[in-house]
Homo-oligomer: A and B are copies of this chain.
Amino acid sequence: MGSIYGTLFRISTWGESHGAGVGVVIDGCPAGLPLCEEDIQKYLDLRRPGQSVYSTPRNEADKCAILSGVFEGRTTGTPISIEVRNTSQRSADYSEIASYYRPGHADYTFDEKYGFRDYRGGGRSSGRETIARVAAGAVALIILERLGIDVCAYTKSIGDITVQNFDRDEIFRNTLYMPDKKAAAQAREYLDDLMKQGNSAGGVVECRVSGLPAGLGETVFDKLDAELAKAVMSIGAVKAVELGSGTSASHSTGKENNDEFFMENGQVNKSTNNSGGVLGGMSDGSELILRASFKPTPSISALQHTVNKSGEDIDVSIKGRHDPIIVPRAVIVVRSMMAIVLVDMMLRNMTARMDRIEDFYRR
């Protein structure tokens, strides 16, 4: 349960690390959107493993196929099924972990909930699950682009190394997706050091959205920030979600934290953006800013204590090469989840006012 997300733009994902593949069915994508596999592949390639020394060398092409919902190059309004077949999985690698609970992983909770688990490569809790999010996110990003909305995400920090400058072009130039060349170099050093110790690092992904109209989001439970918090917190390894001034708002005062309004070229504008673009759960027309804190990769080769299924205390070293940091590959996942929520909210928002509904049907 719980693999379906959204109200009008709804995605239903499936797939395990070592099953036949992973995929998503998008129900509610508007008709008439130009879409082809290459459009989606471009985004999938951003999360693909084997891109750098910091990601697992499982070198799969992760080629997507659109199985339905597109005809003559345009979406038809019917469900779009996208799948990526698994090709390079080797189940043998994972036989050992079937017997014990890896610290920081979902092994124990899966067994407690369902009585057993597909232990191969983390099963449903594998990072490969995010392929489906990115495939759906690609469609959402294409929709937003047509509506003049830009969704930009990047690595904000790795360990204690935080970007100091924002150079958008730099994001895709370094394998860590950091918009600051110097910070990226420092982070690489930090990661190299941790890898030697069989250890791993955490970090922060930041996402900025510009071009949003004001008024997106609902006023009580389905606030824009609440939906974004759920969507981003649902990504594996995320331990905190912040909007705008975030945790620092709690240390601030009203005078400091309030964003004053002023007029600029006949438009309402804000002098600061501590709100992160959301007031009362609705977009306020300024840039939307969200940050997600990721815990360090739980799979480490350094020795750890744990228990096995027979209830014995044991020491383990997680075999295989694992990413020493989840963050860079999670950048496109955060961006995808943001886009999915924003499309859903834009569709929902169309029915907010009676006068606009009358205009629509008078058409």
Q: Is A69 an interface residue (CB 8 A)?
A: yes
Q: Is A106 an interface residue (CB 8 A)?
A: yes
Query: How many residues on the A side are at the interface (Cβ–Cβ under 8 A)?
Result: 168
Q: Give every chain B residue within 8 A of A185 (Cβ-Cβ).
A: none
Instruction: Specify how many copies of this chain sit in the oligomer.
Output: 4
Q: Are B242 and A108 in contact (CB under 8 A)?
A: no
Q: Is A196 an interface residue (CB 8 A)?
A: no
Q: Are A254 and B300 in contact (CB under 8 A)?
A: yes
Q: A30-B354, A109-B280, A261-B307 are in contact. Are A117 and B76 (CB under 8 A)?
A: yes
- Residues of A contacting B: mostly: mixed
Q: Is A68 an interface residue (CB 8 A)?
A: yes
Q: Give every chain B residue within 8 A of A231 (Cβ-Cβ).
A: 221, 226
Closest to A28 in B: B1
Interface locus among A42-50, A54-62, A166-174, A270-278: A270-278
Closest Cβ–Cβ distance, residue A150 to chain B (whole Å): 14
Most buried by B among A124, A312, A313: A124
Q: Are B346 and A114 in contact (CB under 8 A)?
A: no
Q: Are A253 and B293 in contact (CB under 8 A)?
A: no
Closest Cβ–Cβ distance, residue A117 to chain B (whole Å): 7
Q: Are B258 and A353 in contact (CB under 8 A)?
A: no
Closest Cβ–Cβ distance, residue A334 to chain B (whole Å): 13
